[in-house]
Amino acid sequence: MPTVLIAADELVAARYQMALSLGFHIVLSCFGVALPAMIYVLHRRGVRNGDQEALALAKKWAKASAVLFAIGAVSGTILSFEMGLLWPGMMSTFGDVIGLPFAMEGIAFFLEAIFLGIYLYGWGRLRPEVHLRTLIPIMLSGLFGTFCILAVNAWMNAPAGFTMLADGTVTDVDPLAAIFNDALWPQFLHMWVATFVVAGFLTSAVYAVGMLRGRRDRSHRLGFTVPFVFAAVAALAQPAIGHWAGTRLDTQQPSKLAAMELALETEDRAPVVIGGVLIDGEVRGGIEIPAIASLLAGNSFDTVIVGLEDIPEDERPPVNIVHWSFQTMIAAGTAMIALGGWYGWRRRRYGADGVFESTWFLRAAVAAGPVAVIALQAGWVTTEVGRQPWIVYGVMRVEDAVTSNSGIWISLAAMVVIYTSMAVVGARVLLGMARRWRADPSSDLPTPYGPGGSLHDVDTTGPPTDDLVGRPS
């Protein structure tokens, strides 16, 4: 087989493996970032109001998050190795440029793991308010870790902080300029808010399933409401952040914007194309809304969108994939906003408990979980595939970064087995935990201020205590 075909074959395998790893890990990372904030709301309610059911939920969610964190640690470690093993051309060339955020993300990961362990161990061993505050560094480390990783990805879309000589040597490295590139803030905020959408709708979907099966107790209502409200508010904020992220594309990534909008000709007052596919250089089956694409791209009808005809053919991304992933993300986001509005309308008209009397609403809430994941994956497809054929936009092509080692298909097959096994084992563990809690809600060890009480119950409204026997601190 010719060498060029072997290289192309390895490039396809490397892309598939990276897509699999990212697609798997990104969902788990959403829980690591967003779920601690939801646990904090429940735990604070339990400590301040003496709400035992809120504390019970906080404790259960923390144990579930530990399982998800463990699986995410494995997939995240795999990803860190894959960056060097699959794309040595990029890492060897730009390691000095983007090494700092990678290192800081590692620190954030360890801090999150440490404080998650303290929080889990702290039930019944720490004073109530102190125990509650251990969630704060978990939330902050998750936020900082997200910032660091998104800084790298944003840099790949808007490279900065270095000078590349004619021979390919990188000089004048400025790591801070690389981190705070032009794409950082909108891309980081878009992903951070997305974590609450995914974690919130997936968590509330679990409780919606329970309510459809007849479990309408307060624990289920509370377990649904807290994450759903987080997710609904986040979904409502996403269009504004996404619009902000998109306003840089007309000047900094015109090929991505042209693919997203199926723009063939360079023009102002460019139309939005709903649906449609590009076949033999023609858009077929789409519905055009005049001038809206220019307005959305640059907040003006006069914004010029560069058409695909003015972009070299070897610098165009896979147009139909980018266009449809973008449209899928928009459609899913719109559906989730509508669901949040439906919840608000039902709550206002029928009261907090009346929300759950609608079977159709609960069914829609169940569907919102997978819809949120679809929106997340579609967004990342738009971001990553839309950057093609560049791994560092305008600077290095993916084909120049991929490894020359053979056997990528073998490692891809191994990753499929590993990720499938982790998903199955993780699901079985979580389902087993849920069945045990349903069979015996008090199966967890008691805590002095937590669900189930103890031999020495503590009045949560009084002075905090420092041990299991309730001595005043």
285 phi/psi in degrees, rounded to 5: 85, 5
Tokens of 322: 């980018």
| Cα–Cα distances in angstroms (integers) from residue 203 to residues 200, 314, 377, 454, 458, in the given order | 5, 43, 18, 29, 31
**Which pLDDT value is given to residue 465?**
39
Average pLDDT of the chain, as a whole number: 87
**For 83-94, how does the pLDDT look when each residue is reduced to its tens digit (9 = 90+)?**
888 999 999 899
Instruction: Collect all residues with Cβ–Cβ distance below 8 Å to 300 and sequence separation of at least 6.
Output: 294
**For 374-425, how does the pLDDT look when each residue is reduced to its tens digit (9 = 90+)?**
999 999 999 999 999 999 999 999 999 998 888 889 999 999 999 999 999 9
The one-character DSSP state at 303 is -
3-state secondary structure of 317: coil
**For 286-303, how does the pLDDT look when each residue is reduced to its tens digit (9 = 90+)?**
888 998 988 888 888 988
Location of structure tokens 């807290």: 226
Strands (E), 195-338: 272-279, 282-289
**Inter-residue contact 260 to 284 (CB < 8 Å):** no
**Which pLDDT value is given to residue 396?**
92
**Which pLDDT value is given to residue 6?**
43
Q: What's the whole-number mean pLDDT along residues 252-268?
A: 91
Q: Which class for 432: exposed (0-12), middle (13-18), buried (19 or more C-beta within 10 A)? A: exposed
Centre a 10 Å sphere on the Cβ of residue 218 and count the other Cβ atoms it contains: 11
Q: Is the pLDDT of residue 35 over 80?
A: yes
3-state secondary structure of 254: helix
Q: What's the whole-number mean pLDDT along residues 107-122?
A: 92
**Which pLDDT value is given to residue 445?**
43
Strand partners, 288: 273
Percent of the chain with pLDDT over 90: 61
**Which pLDDT value is given to residue 443?**
59
Q: What's the whole-number mean pLDDT along residues 240-252?
A: 91
**Which pLDDT value is given to residue 7?**
54
Q: What's the whole-number mean pLDDT along residues 160-166?
A: 90
Among 347-361, 430-444, 455-469, name the most confident range. Answer: 347-361
How many residues can be counted in the chain? 473
In sequence order, what DSSP letters do the residues of 25-89 get, joined into one string? HHHHHHHHHHHHHHHHHHHHHHHHH--HHHHHHHHHHHHHHHHHHHHHHHHHHHHHHHHHHH-HH
Element (H, E) at 153: helix 135-157
**Which pLDDT value is given to residue 442?**
60
Q: What's the whole-number mean pLDDT along residues 53-65?
A: 91
**For 441-467, how does the pLDDT look when each residue is reduced to its tens digit (9 = 90+)?**
665 544 444 444 443 333 343 334 333
- Give the domain ranges of the chain: 184-247+254-386
More confident residue, 328 or 472: 328
Element (H, E) at 392: strand 390-392
Centre a 10 Å sphere on the Cβ of residue 232 and count the other Cβ atoms it contains: 24
More confident residue, 261 or 458: 261
CA 394 – CA 1 distance, rounded (Å): 31
Element (H, E) at 397: strand 396-397
Residue type (1 letter), 325: S
Tokens of 192: 């951070």
Tokens of 80: 């860190």
CA 6 – CA 459 distance, rounded (Å): 70
CA 111 – CA 208 distance, rounded (Å): 33
CA 123 – CA 131 distance, rounded (Å): 7
Quote the pTM value: 0.89
3-state secondary structure of 215: coil
More confident residue, 5 or 305: 305
**Which pLDDT value is given to residue 1?**
43
In sequence order, what DSSP letters do the residues of 183-199 get, joined into one string? THHHHHHHHHHHHHHHH
**pLDDT band for position 432 (50/70/90)?**
confident
**Which pLDDT value is given to residue 135?**
95
Q: Is the pLDDT of residue 82 over 80?
A: yes
**Which pLDDT value is given to residue 451?**
45
**pLDDT band for position 4 (50/70/90)?**
very low
Q: Which class for 251: exposed (0-12), middle (13-18), buried (19 or more C-beta within 10 A)? A: middle
Percent of the chain with pLDDT over 70: 91
